[in-house]
Structure 1
Amino acid sequence: MASPTTPNETSPLLQHHPPHSIPSSHDASQDPNASKPDADRTSLTLRIAAAMFSFVVLGLFTSTIGVMLPPISKQYHLSDLFASFIFLVGPVGYVSGAYFNSAIHSTFGQRGIAFLGPVLHLLASVAIGAHPPSFPLVLVGFALVGTGNGLVDGSWCAWAGSMERANLASGLLHGAFSVGAATGPFVAGSMMAKENGEWCEWYYVLATASVLELAVLLFAFRHENALRYRQEKHAEVTHSKGCTSAIVKLPATWMSAAYFLAYVGTETAISGWLVTFMMRSRHTSAYLASLSSSGLWAGMAVGRLTLGYITDRIGVRRGTVIYFLCALLLQVLFATVRTPVVSIVLMTLLGFFMGPLFPSGIVVLTGLLPGELHVAAVSFVASLGQVGGALLPFAVGAVIQGLGIGVFQYAVIVLAAVALILWIAFARLRPIAITDTPRGDDGEAADTEG
């Protein structure tokens, strides 16, 4: 939590800050930037815009894995099982990036993330786009993508969540991600559909986007050094250890983690194998198959923007159950109606009803826990969600390898049903009062400050 005298991200979003002096610190004499007025910082509006562009790039990388899966499998003569390793290395890299976030912030500040995240994106794009002679080198590239994603996703989400108008800031970031996620499959599919189009050309586009991401972020966060970060986050750093020890003792943490593992795994399995399924089972062109993926992500974007009002009226617990039931119905229809155009429409509607399912889990979790545990708990369960995003798509690939691509449409129904059951169990938990917070070994509350 920012110091009360620091007029930074706790000030109203997108509003210019008046000049103030940064609070004194025992490190102030070690860094000439410590005495600079806050007015010298890049405006918050520009930093938000830069983070939004970073999330557009994140969406481009994330949503086109499924589009790239068929041509990469063909290039390297991969079975479905070996192709599934792409889904394993990405989340492993993501968790690694998220793990080092705090150390990078403490050593280099936010500008360290602004440099390392895009550089990893750039290196990964070049490595994959060069279509190296062996598939393991491609996997290294996807691991680098995941690590870069973990750095920028965790960092900018946590930063937005610390602002006074956190919901607005987070909405802007995830809206930007949805723009990139909906655009990526369409553009990548169109490039491959043209005459002599090759899959590696898409990674040249991603390399260019990564260079722009690097330039924009470095300029916007050029003043956000380690000293400034430590001054603003002193209280959070002081109590982070207590938060971690507290959250792992709460049933709400583990129930939400189970839900996120199942839901993120389901979402990743659908987006990752959808294009392959459409081409091999529905016999569509690569272009139409990519449209189904774009439709899924576009539907998610619209669902997150529009269903929030309805959710507020009927309640997040009841509303999420209704969205799950609609999603399951659409999945059943997708499995029974084989017309390609209808399949694309059904996938778009499926994305619409799946859109609120992740944010709803965050809302319920934060309602169950004391405020001082929110940041640590959300970071913890989101990382476990990435584990689901690795294991479940890999498991689906293994099943497809043994039983054929047609099993995909039924496997995702089962996964969604499991996620619904876990949601019902998670949503039935009661809020934890501050006095109920697990206590440390000394008998004191594990953490009493945010």
Structure 2
Amino acid sequence: MTDRRRLILICLCFIAFISLGLPDGLLGVAWPGIRADFNQPLDALGWLLVATTSGYMISSFFSGAVSRYFGIGRLLAISCIATGLALIGFTLVPAWVAFVVLGTLVGIGAGAIDASLNTYVAEHYSERLMQWLHASFGVGITLGPLIMTATLNLTGQWSPGYWLVGSAQVFLGLCFFFSAKLWEAPASASAEPTLTEDAGKVARSHPDTVSASDTTSASMLTSLKTPAVWLSMGLFFSYTGLELTLGLWGYSLLTESRGVDTAAAGLWIAIYWGMFTLGRMVAGVFANRMGNHRLVTGSLILALVGAVLLAWNPVAWVGLLSIGLVGFAFAPVFPGLVSGTRLRVGKAHLANTMGMQIAAAGIGAASLPALAGVLAERISLEIVPGFLIVFSAVLSVLYGVSRRLGRRQVNIDPVDH
């Protein structure tokens, strides 16, 4: 593959991930207005998250087979167009149940984009590029709150924000449709070195070059019987739920519990996602130097510190700054976990685990924010920071256990156990 073609494909990957982040960024700021218009309680967001996650799980789980059938370019085109039409549909439906149903379609599109591109980049490019890819998701999810805050200030309505982003998604889908042939030829690996688990130990071989002993793939059933695979799924379940819990409930926490002005609160949620994006850009620069394990471990520790500061909130500015700190800390975790999948489960389980853990991420993205909403409705929105502390600790423990188990797993022939 020529350098020019590789550059085009990388740019298309980045654009796809920007589009993936936009809807997530809209919802947290739009939710107070949405639930008021549809006369729904605070925790009704859980139903929407369940619907979105259901679609996300289905499409991500089967993304490999669907991608092979349609091709990645056409799959991206279909997914973006479907997502865009569903986002526009949010503004047109008269009943909450129809809104929730459209959420399923949004999830289907997001799951297909997420799983197929993560698999593609993990197989053909370096961990550094993986961090930059997910930084582009951060760009999208940072723009979402800014777009919604601006449209709320200009019009007083949440619907124009969804019209704008939905139309952009449809346009991107058309771009992918007309460039679909670029994905048809087999991609060669990038010339970038690949990252090992420890800093300074960088392999010069291509990411997709494997030895004969690595070519045997485990069956789906074998992977499902492997503890390391379930631990990897647990990591993605916990992390994604944490990331979106603060993103979705931070605005309500600031405006309804801590008395922050709506415009300022929208700006701070944008800062959360902006620091999230900045964190991935920084990680993209230093990933190969630090090593995957150090990067993820340091990020988890920093996130726990930020969650404690958010809960403590001795003065208003500390609580506000901690939101940005948590966003910065969370940033490298997801791409770091994706890049470390092979080290946790072994090459034979890689393809199966990638789809499974992306599906688990979707479940976590719905379950943990929904649980936080239920607790906030029954106790107080101030439960959100404590929720972050507890599950940040759980995530850290899961990561430590999965890393130890992974050291043994990579030396086991999965066909024999």
Q: Distance in 2 between matches of 1:112 and 1:322?
A: 38
- TM norm structure 1: 0.79
Separation in 2, partners of 1:375, 1:52: 22
Q: Does 1:192 align with 2:137?
A: no
Q: Does 1:278 align with 2:254?
A: yes
CA distance in 2 between counterparts of 1:397 and 1:103 reads: 35
Residue pairs, 1:11-90, within 5 angstroms? 11=1, 15-16=3-4, 43-90=5-52
Q: What is the CA distance between 1:189 and its match in structure 2?
A: 0.9
- 1:340–1:53: structure 2 CA closer, same or farther, 3 Å change rule? farther
Aligned twin of 1:143: 104
8 Å CA contact 1:263, 1:419 repeated in 2: yes
Mapped to 1, the partners of 2:300 and 2:346 lie a distance apart of 27
Preserved CA contact (<8 Å) 2:148 2:161? yes
**CA deviation vs aligned residue, 1:69-119 (integer Å, no higher than 9, x gap):** 111111112112222222221121111222342343343323431331022
Matched residue of 1:344: which SS?
Answer: helix
Q: Alpha carbons of 1:137 and 1:161: their partners in 2 closer, same or farther (altered >3 Å)?
A: same
Out of 56, 63, 81, the position equivalent to 1:94 is 56
Distance 1:92 1:280, change over 3 A: same
Unaligned runs of 5+ in 1: 1-10, 17-42, 440-444
Q: Secondary structure at the match of 1:431?
A: helix
CA deviation map 1:341-377 (0-9, x unaligned): 5433221111111112223323443223333432322
Q: Percent identity, aligned pairs only?
A: 22
> In the alignment, is the contact (CA less than 8 A) between 1:284 and 1:340 conserved in 2?
no
Contact map agreement 1:257 1:384 (CA 8 A) in 2? yes
Q: Give 1:245's aligned amino acid.
A: L
Equivalent position of 2:222 in the other structure = 246
1:123-138 correspondence runs (5 A) = 123-130=85-92, 132-138=93-99
Alpha-carbon RMSD: 2.7
For structure 2, the residue ranges without an aligned partner over 5 or more in a row are 187-207
Task: Tell me which residue corresponds to 1:213.
Answer: 172
Residues 278 and 289 in structure 1, CA contact (< 8 A), matched pair in contact too? yes
The one-character-per-residue Cα deviations of 1:249-275 (angstroms, maximum 9, x if unpaired) are: 322211222222112111121111111
1:154 to 98, 115, 122: 115
Q: Distance in 1 between matches of 2:46 and 2:346?
A: 39
Equivalent position of 1:387 in the other structure: 363
Q: Which amino acid in structure 1 is aligned with residue 81 of structure 2? A: V
Conservation of the 8 A alpha-carbon contact between 2:83 and 2:105: yes
Tell me the number of residue pairs that the alignment of Structure 1 and Structure 2 aligns.
391
Change (3 A) 1:152 1:105: same
- Give TM-score, length-normalised by structure 2: 0.85
User: How many Å separate the matches in 2 of 1:49 and 1:314?
Assistant: 25
Q: Shift of residue 313 of structure 1?
A: 5.6
Where does residue 305 of structure 1 map in the other structure?
281
**Aligned equivalents of 2:366 and 2:182: distance in 1?**
36
Match of 2:204 in 1: none
